[in-house]
A and B are shown apart, each in its own frame.
Chain A
């Protein structure tokens, strides 16, 4: 599909990363955007991709690794096609987020952070998603889902 030309990055990825550069003063500033672009194409950031991005941005792989591991939404391990983030901050916790997390994992027969056997899902906790009036909430891929209970969890998996 995408012809790899930059030791681990596809042409499309390189184009998208380069396009971001016009918005910032220097290449370093694109680090986070670049990692997100790689993830959009590959779901996660492998060592090989990290090194390639660092080369493209003229920074050390160590510096970029420091950035990659700092942020909650950059994955340095393979994740499923859809990442399900369940909020475990205070209001969601009060209204049952522990049970939501357990229920999600039980449905998929996984531990937190683990990929489901079919490669479809990974469940991760996340900090407050800013929808506390509908707690507990989860984010399935990019989509926020409100007032989560056991039925709502079943619905996520089409059961």
Chain B
């Protein structure tokens, strides 16, 4: 039953031990790959994943099957790459770490199937340098997969061969941006690249490259094993499948749960996370990481679907919620967020490099009692100037999301600091 309702976390154990190859195989592991290799053409795999409705779990929600179908495969002799984005660094997000540490074969199987779908001969796992346990376990799992013939020359005795290289990063948030990640893999500063050309056409060393998030790839084996209809039936809302949702902050039981897409936010915070700690009240939350807009208690009945959260004025992002309680000052929380983004800006384009430190200066002044009411207009202006379309990549537009929504929902808190100075 668990296998069918919770495909992603069925092997996750409370003691944090990890699923060996034998454990993984005993719950249907590598069956999706066997079916793929023996029965399906690459185009079929793309179509299955497209029909299943799998959307990227890294935050942007792009259709995974569609992404794969855009890779040019006319020239089969050309090199193509698959990259698993395991550079989880969105503050407040801790979902991929669990998948990497506790069920590494799930990612590996997903990668082999994805590589087959785009006929990539080489794949990289771009792992956060700080994820030491994941590194150790992935290394072991890669060896196991190779020894069993799932990976390497002639996968399951087929014509398809694949090499997976584990690369560990040296730490920088911008590496999560796919073109910056490619520069990091090439041994350069991780500054984003201009698009177009998109990585699907010209990515790693100028070759067609697909970059998929860890959780996205972990969905793939199950779609191939159990089928499109089963996958679609998992969800409660518009988007398909299950997802790892979580909550952190002053809730009773912070954690991570695999739940159907379309699960109401209220259920995640009140049931799974056990509600607020005694003596704390919910003031708001960031639904999917640091770079998503604040929502309020009145939005608790919004469901975790890409469109539904967007309609409420935010983004589902990574689906891991950061809870703001009444003991935490929203202005200081936003300062912490903007300090993070200012520090992690790669410095490549001017609005981000200069704009984010400016928001930090203004917020610090306000908190120090040196703010003026006009500063709130300047901050609002900055959220527009750093917004979509004005910067090279999505870092700055994401960075101003919590700021713009805090100015809207918690304006009184900002004004109180400014009034204090007057008094």
A152 interfacial contact with B, CB 8 Å: no
> Known contacts A93-B336, A94-B328: does B170 contact A130 (CB below 8 Å)?
no
Q: In the bound complex, do residue A72 and residue B170 qualify as a contact, i.e. CB atoms below 8 Å apart?
A: yes
Binary per-residue interface labels of chain A (41-70) against chain B in the complex, 1 for a CB within 8 Å, 0 otherwise: 000000000000000010000000011001
Range class of the B interface residue count: 35 or more
B102 interfacial contact with A, CB 8 Å: no
Q: In the bound complex, do residue B185 and residue A132 qualify as a contact, i.e. CB atoms below 8 Å apart?
A: no
Q: In the bound complex, do residue A91 and residue B169 qualify as a contact, i.e. CB atoms below 8 Å apart?
A: no
Stretch at the interface among B31-39, B129-137, B146-154, B195-203: B129-137
Binary per-residue interface labels of chain B (188-212) against chain A in the complex, 1 for a CB within 8 Å, 0 otherwise: 1110000000000000010000000
Q: In the bound complex, do residue B132 and residue A91 qualify as a contact, i.e. CB atoms below 8 Å apart?
A: no
On chain B, the residues within 8 Å of A144 by CB distance are 132-133
Q: What is the CB-to-nearest-CB distance from B165 to chain A, in angstroms, rounded to a whole number? A: 5
On chain A, the residues within 8 Å of B403 by CB distance are none
A131 and B205 alpha carbons, distance in the complex (Å): 33
- The interface residues of chain A, by DSSP majority, are classed as mixed
On chain A, the residues within 8 Å of B165 by CB distance are 23
B290 interfacial contact with A, CB 8 Å: yes
How many residues belonging to A are interface residues under a CB distance threshold of 8 Å? 42
Of B132, B246, B336, which one neighbours A89 at CB under 8 angstroms?
A: B336
On chain A, the residues within 8 Å of B250 by CB distance are 94-95
Q: What is the CB-to-nearest-CB distance from B325 to chain A, in angstroms, rounded to a whole number? A: 8
With both beta carbons as reference points, the residue of chain B lying nearest to A72 in the complex is identified as B171
A71 and B91 alpha carbons, distance in the complex (Å): 17
Q: In the bound complex, do residue A131 and residue B97 qualify as a contact, i.e. CB atoms below 8 Å apart?
A: yes
A116 interfacial contact with B, CB 8 Å: no
With both beta carbons as reference points, the residue of chain A lying nearest to B96 in the complex is identified as A130
With both beta carbons as reference points, the residue of chain A lying nearest to B185 in the complex is identified as A29
Q: In the bound complex, do residue B290 and residue A89 qualify as a contact, i.e. CB atoms below 8 Å apart?
A: yes
B344 interfacial contact with A, CB 8 Å: yes
B269 interfacial contact with A, CB 8 Å: no
A128 and B337 alpha carbons, distance in the complex (Å): 11
Q: In the bound complex, do residue B249 and residue A91 qualify as a contact, i.e. CB atoms below 8 Å apart?
A: yes
Q: What is the CB-to-nearest-CB distance from B400 to chain A, in angstroms, rounded to a whole number? A: 15
B316 interfacial contact with A, CB 8 Å: no
On chain B, the residues within 8 Å of A129 by CB distance are 130
With both beta carbons as reference points, the residue of chain A lying nearest to B346 in the complex is identified as A70
A126 interfacial contact with B, CB 8 Å: yes
Q: In the bound complex, do residue A128 and residue B172 qualify as a contact, i.e. CB atoms below 8 Å apart?
A: no
Of A29, A126, A131, A132, which one neighbours B187 at CB under 8 angstroms?
A: A29
Interface residues in chain B, defined as those with a beta carbon under 8 Å from any beta carbon in chain A = 88-94, 96-97, 128-133, 165, 167-173, 184-190, 205, 246, 248-250, 254-256, 286, 290, 320, 322, 328, 333, 336-337, 340, 343-344, 346
Besides the contacts A29-B187, A142-B132, what 15 more A-B pairs have beta carbons closer than 8 Å? A32-B170, A66-B189, A71-B169, A73-B169, A90-B92, A90-B290, A90-B337, A95-B249, A130-B88, A130-B131, A132-B91, A132-B254, A132-B322, A133-B248, A135-B248
